[in-house]
Amino acid sequence: MSENQKKIWVTGASTGIGKAVAEKFAKEGWKVAISARREELLKNIAKDNNIFDYPLDVTDKKKVDEVFKKILEDFKNIDLCIFNAGTYEPKLEKEINQEQIRRTMEVNFFGVVNCIKAVENHFKNIKNGHISIVSSIAGYRGLPNSSGYGPSKAALSNLAESLYFDFKKYNVKISLISPGFIKTPMTDKNKFRMPFIKSPEFAADKIYNGLIKSDTFEITFPKQLTILFKFFKILPNRIYLFLISKLVKR
């Protein structure tokens, strides 16, 4: 291994976007640490020479700290973190299910907060590095049947913007990844037609190019869908609520 080899930590890496991102960075020559709860899936992915598995439940703050400490011991340094762990249960999103909403926020939002807190001192001390948070265009505005997932992603987007200013003083970059529909085990649960749905490999290419080959704060894809949702974002409430109400009735 070259001393100049770049190193990355990816959470939520057992399937979907996280898995594809880990494999993409490994293919590009990066040394990759992957974390998720499902150990067997991680071990299968870690058969790649550049990928190493570190099982983790991101809701366990103490374990997050221990895992990152172990990664630093093994890798000596981390250049980039992509915090991607998330959960989604569409059947339970159609009503106010308090336990499900708490669980969704615990994984999607506080799990990311736990990870950022674990790496904070490392990046601030070396005055370098990059933390990228995976949110979703579902966080742009309130959507039907999204009582937990959408709000958790909206919180992540706001968090990324807030931390951008705090970490910039230490020369640490914060960025946001906001995908549309990507074919993953989570979106396979949806019973509705998902426009412009793309593969995890498509997402991984967009994320890699956005993080490594550009200096943008937010990476969004696919373009056709994200343009529509960004338009929704700037609409006055009255118009937005009217349009979505009409779409729901169809």
Q: Cα–Cα distance between 168 and 59 in angstroms, integer?
A: 26
pLDDT digits (tens, 9 = 90+) for 31-74: 999 999 999 999 999 987 899 999 999 999 999 999 999 999 99
Instruction: Decide if 1 is inside a domain.
Output: no
Q: What is the mean pLDDT of residues 212-225?
A: 94
Provide the residue type at 134 as one letter: V
Instruction: Decide if 219 is inside a domain.
Output: yes
Whether the pLDDT of residue 1 is over 60: the answer is no
Average pLDDT along the chain: 93
- Which of the four pLDDT bands, split at 50, 70 and 90, describes residue 107? very high
Burial track 48-65 (b if 16+ CB lie within 10 A, e otherwise): eebbbbbbbebbeeebbe
According to the model, what pLDDT value does residue 213 have?
A: 93
Instruction: Decide if 55 is inside a domain.
Output: yes
> Is position 164 annotated as part of the catalytic site?
no
Instruction: Decide if 178 is inside a domain.
Output: yes
According to the model, what pLDDT value does residue 181 have?
A: 87
10: tokens are 């990816």
Instruction: Decide if 115 is inside a domain.
Output: yes
Smallest CA-to-CA distance from 152 within 245, 85, 219 is with 85
Range(s) of the domain holding residue 233? 7-249
Out of 54, 149, 164, 208, the active site residue is 149
Better pLDDT: 95 or 206: 206
Instruction: Decide if 59 is inside a domain.
Output: yes
Q: Cα–Cα distance between 106 and 153 in angstroms, integer?
A: 12
According to the model, what pLDDT value does residue 118 have?
A: 98
CATH number of domain containing 95 = 3.40.50.720
Structural domain count of the chain: 1
Instruction: Decide if 90 is inside a domain.
Output: yes
Per-residue CA distances from 190 to 58, 93, 150 (Å): 24, 11, 14
Q: What is the mean pLDDT of residues 179-195?
A: 83
- Which of the four pLDDT bands, split at 50, 70 and 90, describes residue 175? very high
DSSP string, 13-61: -SSHHHHHHHHHHHHTT-EEEEE-S-HHHHHHHTTSTTEEE----TT-H
Instruction: Decide if 2 is inside a domain.
Output: no
